[in-house]
């Protein structure tokens, strides 16, 4: 007796996938590989503003030791904590400077009024 349409439809996709070896998707970087680079960009942003680590920690309402862990790459920089502070703009600029193909330029425009 020939197989019914239902049995053929259900078994066909399974038979094609039996030879496929499944493996998890992998990124090119480990999860912590970029933390030191991000921390270095954050330190540059702090330096642009002329702040000490202690002053930057106070600005972010956090402990200086934790901020040092961000900078060293032990912990990730918490963007939601940085956003909206004076460090947000300089940090974004420093991150952009690290991006491939990006050039950061400073332009000063003076508008004179009569």
**What residues does each domain of the chain span?**
35-98
What pLDDT was estimated at residue 108?
85
pTM of the model: 0.65
Burial class, 41, CB count within 10 angstroms (exposed 0-12 / middle 13-18 / buried 19+) = buried
Close Cβ partners of 6 (under 8 Å, ≥ 6 residues apart)? none
> For residue 94, how many other CB atoms are within 10 A of its CB?
21
pLDDT for the residue 113: 85
* Ordered mean pLDDT values, 10 residues apiece, the chain (114 residues): 56 62 66 86 96 97 96 93 94 90 86 84
pLDDT number for residue 15: 59
Sign of the Cα pseudo-torsion (82, 86, 89, 95, in order) = negative
Given a contact cutoff of 8 angstroms between Cβ atoms, the answer to whether 104 and 92 are in contact is no
The reported pLDDT for the residue numbered 16 is 65
* Cβ-contact 46, 53 below 8 angstroms: yes
Residues 6+ apart with CB under 8 A from 110: none
pLDDT of residue 57: 97
List of residues 6+ apart from 83 with CB closer than 8 A: none
Residues in the chain, how many?
114
Q: Domain spanning 35-98 has what CATH number?
A: 1.10.260.40
């Amino acid at each position: 007796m020939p197989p019914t349409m239902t049995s053929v439809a259900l078994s066909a996709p399974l038979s094609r996938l039996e030879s496929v070896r499944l493996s998890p998707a992998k990124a090119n970087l480990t999860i912590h590989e970029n933390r030191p680079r991000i921390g270095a960009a954050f330190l540059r942003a702090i330096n642009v503003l002329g702040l000490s680590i202690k002053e930057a920690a106070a600005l972010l309402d956090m402990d200086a030791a934790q901020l040092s862990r961000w900078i060293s790459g032990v912990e990730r920089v918490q963007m939601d904590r940085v956003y909206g502070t004076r460090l947000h703009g300089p940090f974004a600029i420093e991150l952009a400077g690290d991006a491939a193909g990006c050039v950061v330029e400073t332009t000063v425009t003076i508008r004179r009024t009569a």
